[in-house]
A and B are shown apart, each in its own frame.
Chain A
Amino acid sequence: DIQMTQSPSSLSASVGDRVTITCRASQNINNCLNWYHQKPGKAPELLIFAASSLQSGVPSRFSGSGSGTDFTLTISSLQPEDFATYYCQQSCSSPPTFGQGTKVEI
């Protein structure tokens, strides 16, 4: 299985901050990388697919970049509703696997 490692595991930020989360794959996954966020008690929601494509309805303050083994999710200006846990997921190889999550806290 491809291992996905996120960093940091948690971070503290303020409204308006620029936030960056990284995800590293244990082998080359080209651009087969998706990002989700999850609020407490809710299901994950897709933010970014194919490393950099914004899912329909997702605000433009979210962006993704990277290719190969190293990927980044950036929130350009953190909003109150963005405090959540963020996960990356590789979709190149079966089984699809997720990172361990990054919790964004106030």
Chain B
Amino acid sequence: QVQLQESGPGLVKPSETLSLTCTVSGGSISNYYWSWIRQSPGKGLEWIAYIYYSGSTNYNPSLKSRVTILVDTSKNQFSLKLSSVTAADTAVYYCARGDYVWGTGTNFDRWGQGTLVTVSS
């Protein structure tokens, strides 16, 4: 059973960079899309970005200028960096596995438990 686990600081100062890592266990990181999704009371569920195991990426245009997503297949991990954070970036951040179904796109079939990141000085 594939499991995902987020890790990283729970508190980030305004204007700094949020950094999170997702560790995938119980299965290979190959052949799937790996996403970051966040959830805040004000904006609901918001997809941030995905990376394919090969390294190709896709970003939400609303965040693209501030986001970097990377994969490390040797460690079965992928990571998120979100720069110049503000209070509006306070949210629960989830990592998720994207399963591409031909003709119907990618669904998110495995999720991490989520980690709350608060942006505050």
Contact in complex: B112, A49 (CB < 8 Å):
no
Specify which of B96, B106, B112, B114 lies most central, judged by the most chain A CB atoms within 10 Å of its CB: B106
With both chains docked as a complex, state the minimum distance between the C-beta of A53 and any C-beta of chain B, in angstroms: 8
The count of A-to-B residue pairs whose CB atoms sit within 8 angstroms is: 67
A91 to B58, CA, bound (A): 13
CB-based nearest A residue for B108: A46
> Which of chain B's residues 62-121 have a Cβ closer than 8 Å to chain A?
62, 94, 96, 99, 101, 103-109, 111-114
Instruction: Bin the interface of chain B by size.
Output: 20 to 34
A41 to B16, CA, bound (A): 27
A95 at the interface (CB under 8 A from B): yes
Task: Encode contact with A along B31-61: 1 for CB under 8 Å, 0 otherwise.
Answer: 0000000000000111100000000001011
Residues on B facing A (Cβ under 8 Å): 44-47, 58, 60-62, 94, 96, 99, 101, 103-109, 111-114
